[in-house]
Structure formats: structure tokens, C-alpha cells
A and B are shown apart, each in its own frame.
Chain A
């Protein structure tokens, strides 16, 4: 089975460029309103976008600036759960400081509300100011912390077997306690007993996305379903994507280690077509399009000039691995050509980071997505399909279920 190329789109606030809020001229409350959020996500869904992401951070992009307003990502994703039916909803939730138990319950609840369309962009936090906001000491090894948090969240999602609720009137039992489990997780810096307060999410496990390298390899299972890479050019990004698929992110599998089931690079490179269990690898692409009669390069120049000092933004920022997102500045046809060539060279998909959401989404909806659909590079998600189904990922067996 061939799995279609995925197109993720970030719908955070005014857009990914740090000057987007100022450029939009909208008041924070309007920019962040539920009505505007629902409208953006609906437009993306109607255009056939595979999933939207909600970039997030506890700290503002510019300290003290009202234009740096931003709402919690899970709350935003949940808000659009019932205003949409097909598109995946992927909030960014950091692994570094939030309580893993809360993260697991919030994401499971999102997946219930969205009938299996939930994902998790597991981010790491490298700013010491975030530790200060939590009143905690800075975590020094954020990749290891990410590994433990993703692991325990996955464990917690499995604590209820799918059929734990039995409603057995004869014995008066609502649940079968033998089908609810205690992970008793001991990580390097914390422990969690469990079980989760929320029954197993519809997808079993939400789709976990992370930047390649952010989540240290786990010893038990691949922790990341979709690895995101950057690159200085299309060839570089393609190589990074294929590389990350050969060495699944967050997985010890494929690296030298005791696991004998590791896959060779040659097999992994065409995994997209042959193996539903192979992780997906996507490229992060910052996008500035010709729009509203203005050339993309001019728009970007103005945005860069309007960027406030001291800005804390992922736009153009290098990832820990040293790679920045790929950047595309130009017309819609050029972006169609870029995405088509990425798909042809074996990349599984992209996450687009529009500079100014309203403006660039308009151009994407008019010029880019229809062309990709017509060329069958992109297939819009089916209403009612889970995000796993859309991405060709299987529904995981429950780790605690006894094999009959």
C-alpha cells in the first residue's frame, strides 16, 4: 500500500514569523479568538491538509509585548475537535517541565473529543526561563527527559485496555480491574504510578511527532512516529529525512545495540511503500508566498525589518542538530514543484510553517493544495478516519494486554 504524502500546517497565532502579529494589525484578543481559530482550521481541512499543528511555548516570543499573546496548544486543539471531522490535530506540548501525568490525560482527552484525530508534537524546552516559570531547576539533559516523558505518556495511554469498561450488571462491576494497569514507571528524574484517569484513547496511542534528535532513544520501543527534520536545501533535507527514517527517532532500534530486529538502511529507505510500522519522516518548511499582489521576498523583507529585538521564536532558528527548517520564498507553483520533488525522492511529508497565517493560508488554499491534489501527491484525509489511518500507521496493540 502506498501512503500519500502528508502536509501538516502550523496554525499558531498570527503565523510563524515573529513579526506576524504586528504585521496582522489585529488585537491579541481577536488574533487568538476561538472564531478565528476555528475558521483557519476549517480552511485547512477544506483544502485537504493532513493535520494542523499548534506551536506552543510557556514563554512569550517577546517579553512584555501584548502581541506575544498565545493560548495553550491542547486547549486550542480541543476547541476545534468538534468543528472539524477529518483533519489531524497536533498540539505541541513540551516534555521538559509539564507534569507527564497531566500531559497524558490531556492528550488522551483530545483524542476522545476528536474521535481519534489527535497527535502530539513532543517538544523540548531549552530556555532556563521556563524552568524559572515552573519554579524548578533547569533540566540539563532535555533529550533524556523527553525520552522518559514520552515513554511514560505512552505507558499511561495503555493503562486501560480497550475493553476495560464491561458494565456487567450481573456482578455490579463497571470495569474489569484486571484490564486496568499500573505502569509504576521509574524515570531518571521522576516516577509515575498510574493508571491514567482517562480510558485508552481511540487511536490507542496518539501519533507522536518530534524534531529528529529531540527525544533520546528509548530502550523498549520506538517513541516517535513522525520525525521532523530541517535542511539547508531540498537535497540536504531529503537526505536528513531518509537518514532519520533509517534510524527511527526516539528508538534504539536501528542503532548499534542489543536489539537484533534492526532494519538495514536499504530496506528502510523504501519503507513508506512497504511497511506500515516504519516511522514517518517529514521536512519542516518555512513558507512565504507571493500574496495580495506582493512578492514573497518583499513580504519577508518587511517582516524581518519589523521583527522586534530580543525575539524568542522558532522561525529560522537552528535545531539542536544544527539544521534550520527548509525555507521556501516564492510563488505557489514553485512550492508545488518543491513538495512534489520531496515526495518523489521518498520523503513522507512536510510541516509547513506559514510566515503570516491568514495571508499564506489563502495562497496555499488557492494555488498549492489544489495542484497537489490534482497531481495525486496529496490525498485529503477521509472524514471519520483517525490520524494514524491517514498516515498509514497501525493502531498499536496494548502493551499490558495478555496475549490470549
Chain B
């Protein structure tokens, strides 16, 4: 790893969140040590371990339709998850400090209802809630909802900005605790929400110790980055494996934050990543290899390649070469997750074939290689060095760790990496505040938004389109 990147934030601390994966193939469910992905006890154990490790936050993702491949339910991955806000409310009662981040999309939720549920979690948890704002627009998910697939892809960030602006007005409608006053009525215009009627809302949820939920955003297109730059407190990015890539991402995002009229450190960067440690560098590498082979089973490898080729490749030899013919479909369907929408399958296939031929890889080896450059591998000490460098070069503010096994997957990190970080003065030794806003080190609830609360932004929603196909597999 290169060391020439200057240290620009010498005293900066590493922050951790944990992403309890929902639908995904990276949690090794086949291992004898793997527990239930459904039972509450698994979630509780991960959340408590993270809290013992003084993490900022515990995250849950969202997906509102089960994935399919070519009309059949995808059956290889972990699938089946709780509603995030409900599950986090139960976790709020068995934890004391850790933040609780609920991923919720802005398309298939009504602002009055969503803002209320999020604020309810925030009040009950004593100011520990956050909303990870995602956008989804596909008709395939819409089939589970009253409005159906009503929103164009290009409009989803516009809707997101309007829903978020309305939520903020709802949260701000109550006088602060101890301050007398009445509750303001909130109106949202039809143009804001792209719904046939105006919304008129009389809020019921009081403010929490942190005011209202912290805003996270997960999305990577230019439009997504602009949305985060204008609206979010934290961006949950996918740039958590290669330092130069993370630095580029950070520079890009900070430019957008400044352009949105905010101080450049107003948006914190937390990429998703994974951490694998061993007693020696060799042992860690060996373990990382093992983890990747477990994650990419022969069936999973064929399924991932089959999705790009748009056909059932399960009769292929996973240890043999890629199909000799080109994919039969032009574009990926929406069902694999929104990050893949619009990706050109032939380009991906050609690129994959070139890599496989140059490096002499089988189907499974190629898939492992494609999903292999994620995260940190080493001894607890070397990983702590790397993480500290990432934060101090300004590439990130923290990391969102996805454990590869549930529920024991954080034990090594909390028991071995956190103490190494603490020894280096790069990690807190106690929670300093009680709210998530305090853990992350955010300013008081957002003076920058007060000025514009009455003019919902037009974000540059139409700017971003094509996404790399590979990203889809991690965006669960």
C-alpha cells in the first residue's frame, strides 16, 4: 500500500459502524459458526458487541422485494430481513449508546408516516436514530405498493429531496423540549412530492435529545453525491478498499459539499468495508482467501455470471472458462438491485473475459477476483495502522464494517483491532456523548438548512445514469 499520501488530519480518530447485512452473499451462512440471520438474538449480539467496541452506529439495510433471477426467486444468498425501524426500536431497549441507522427509501414511503416512525425511534432511543436515505424507483419493487412503479429513474432524487425536506419540516414543527409554543402545521405542495394532492400534516412527534435523526445517504452516482452533498450528514459510500480511490471520492464529494454552500467537513464519509485479521500477515491472507472462497460458492459464481449473461449457466463448470458467446440481453433488469440498472452487459462481459484470459481465471476465480478487493487484511496492528492512515489522510471519517459471519463477526475487531487503535490514540476510549450526532462529531442540527427549509432543492437528479454491474452485489 502506498504511503506517499500526506497526513492532513494528524489527530483524527477512526470511527466504526457495523452494517448488519440483509440480502447478500457475503455472509457465510454455511459455516458451522453461523447463527440465525432472522432471530432477534443475532441482531442483539452484533449490536451489543459493536457497543462494547464503542462503535458509532449499527446499520440495517432495506430491500422491498425479494431478488429474482430470470423470474425465479434467488435462492443462494441470505434473504429475509426485518423492517429496519421496528427492529432498531427493539434494539434501542437493549443498548444504551450506539446509534441506530435505518435504511428507508423515499419512493415507497409517505413523508408524514416515515418522518413520524423515524422520529419515534429517535425519541425512544434518546437521540440515537439515523435515516439512511436511499432511492428506489423500479416498477418491480413498486408492484408491492399502492402507487406501483410510478416514478421515473431520473426523478427519484427529486422526490428524495422533497420527502427529506418535508420530513425536516415535520421534525422542526415541534418546539424544543422546555420551550413553550405550538406545533406548526406542515404543508407540502403537489409539485414537491409528485403526488396528486397536497399533503397537510399536523405533526405529533416531539424533538429528541439530538433534535431529529441524523441523515445518512447511500448512493454513488453524480446525482446521488450531489444529493448527499446538499442534504446528508454522512455518506455511506462504496469506496472502502483502495486508498487512492477513496481519496478521489473524498475530493469529489467535498467539492460538491462546498458547492452546496456547506463547510467541507460537514459531510462525513463512511465507506462500507470488511476487516480480516490474523496473528501473522500470512495467517490473515490465508483466512482472507478462505473467506472469499466461502463467499463465492460454485453456485453463486455461476449465478453472478449468469445474471450478466442473462441466462441460466448452472450447467457450466464453475472451474471452467466463461461462456464463449456474448450475453443475450442488452441491459440488466432492475430486479438485481438498483445499482445495476442501465449497465451494459456486453461491455461488462468483454471486460471480464479479457481479465479472465490475461490472468488465466476460471469462472469462480474471476468472480472471487472481482469481489476480492474489499477491505483490510492483516494483523490487528497493521490493520490499525492502515485504518488510521485512511482517516488521517482525509480519505474517510470512519468505516462501516460488514461482518462476513453473523453473529460472531465483530468479535475480532472489537477485541483485537479496537485496542490497537486506542493504543495509537486513534480511537475513543469511552463514548463522550449520548447521541449519535455527538458520536459522529456533527455540528448542532444543521443551521445551513434553516435558510432553505422553504425552498426544496432541485438536485441535479438527471445527471447520473450508468453504474458498473459489479457494484450491485455489494449494495444490499
Contacts and interface: CB of A to CB of B under 8 A. Distances in A.
B66 A34 contact: no
A29 B177 contact: yes
A66 B183 contact: yes
B123 A29 contact: yes
A172 B124 contact: no
Given A174-B75, A197-B63, A198-B82, A69 B206 contact: yes
Nearest to B300: A172
A109 B117 contact: no
B315 interface: no
B121 interface: yes
B124 A37 contact: yes
A99 B146 contact: yes
B57 to A, nearest CB: 18
A160 B196 contact: no
B85 A174 contact: no
Given A82-B40, A133-B200, A133-B202, A75 B121 contact: yes
A99 B108 contact: yes
A133 B126 CA distance: 27
Contacts of A112: 38-40, 82
B260 interface: no
B442 interface: no
Interface in A119-160: 129, 132-137, 160
Contact of B144 (A97, A137, A164, A193): A193
B346 interface: no
Interface stretch (A56-64, A261-269, A270-278, A316-324): A56-64
Contacts of A75: 85-86, 89, 117, 120-121, 124
B387 to A, nearest CB: 31
Nearest to B86: A109
Contacts of B383: none
Contact of B206 (A66, A136, A173, A197): A66
Nearest to B116: A72
A176 B206 CA distance: 45
Given A160-B80, A172-B76, A98 B202 contact: no
B197 A193 contact: no
A171 B177 CA distance: 57
Interface string B111-130: 01100110111011110000
Contacts of B185: 63-64
Contact of A69 (B85, B126, B148, B205): B205
B264 interface: no
A32 interface: yes
B201 interface: yes
A109 B82 contact: yes
A58 B112 contact: yes
A6 to B, nearest CB: 24
Given A79-B89, A82-B40, A134-B112, A63 B146 contact: no
A173 B76 contact: yes
Interface in B31-72: 37-40, 44, 63-66, 72
Contacts of B37: 165
Given A32-B123, A109-B83, A198-B82, A180 B73 contact: yes
A158 B177 CA distance: 43
Contact of A133 (B39, B40, B201): B201
Contacts of A76: 89, 120, 124
Contacts of A133: 112, 199-202
Contacts of B109: 99, 102
B110 interface: yes
Given A65-B183, A129-B202, A175 B81 contact: no
A64 B80 contact: no
Contacts, number: 230
B1 interface: no
Interface stretch (B90-98, B272-280, B285-293, B407-415): B90-98
Nearest to A187: B146
B66 A132 contact: no
B364 to A, nearest CB: 12
A83 to B, nearest CB: 5
B78 interface: yes
A384 B189 CA distance: 48
Contact of B204 (A68, A74, A78, A115): A68
Nearest to B124: A34
Given A37-B124, A113-B40, A59 B86 contact: no
Contacts of B143: 191-193
A81 interface: yes
B77 interface: yes
A190 B299 CA distance: 37
A71 B200 CA distance: 19
B110 A135 contact: yes
B447 interface: no
Contacts of B94: 82
A313 B20 CA distance: 40
B183 A72 contact: no
B297 interface: yes
Contact of A29 (B116, B198, B206): B206
B12 to A, nearest CB: 33
Interface of A: 27-29, 32-34, 37-38, 58-60, 63-66, 68-72, 74-76, 78-83, 97-99, 101-102, 105-106, 108-110, 112-115, 129, 132-137, 160, 164-165, 167, 169, 171-177, 180, 189-195, 197-199
Interface of B: 29-30, 37-40, 44, 63-66, 72-73, 75-83, 85-87, 89-90, 92-94, 108-110, 112-113, 116-117, 119-121, 123-126, 143-146, 148, 174-175, 177-178, 180-183, 185, 188, 190, 193, 195-208, 297-300
Given A113-B86, A165-B37, 17 more contacts: A29-B207, A34-B124, A66-B181, A69-B174, A79-B89, A79-B92, A81-B90, A98-B113, A102-B109, A106-B85, A113-B40, A129-B200, A134-B199, A165-B80, A197-B66, A197-B80, A197-B83
26 contacts: A29-B123, A29-B207, A37-B124, A58-B204, A66-B181, A71-B204, A74-B89, A75-B89, A76-B120, A78-B90, A79-B90, A82-B44, A82-B94, A99-B145, A106-B85, A109-B87, A112-B40, A113-B40, A133-B201, A135-B196, A137-B197, A172-B76, A172-B300, A173-B76, A174-B75, A197-B80
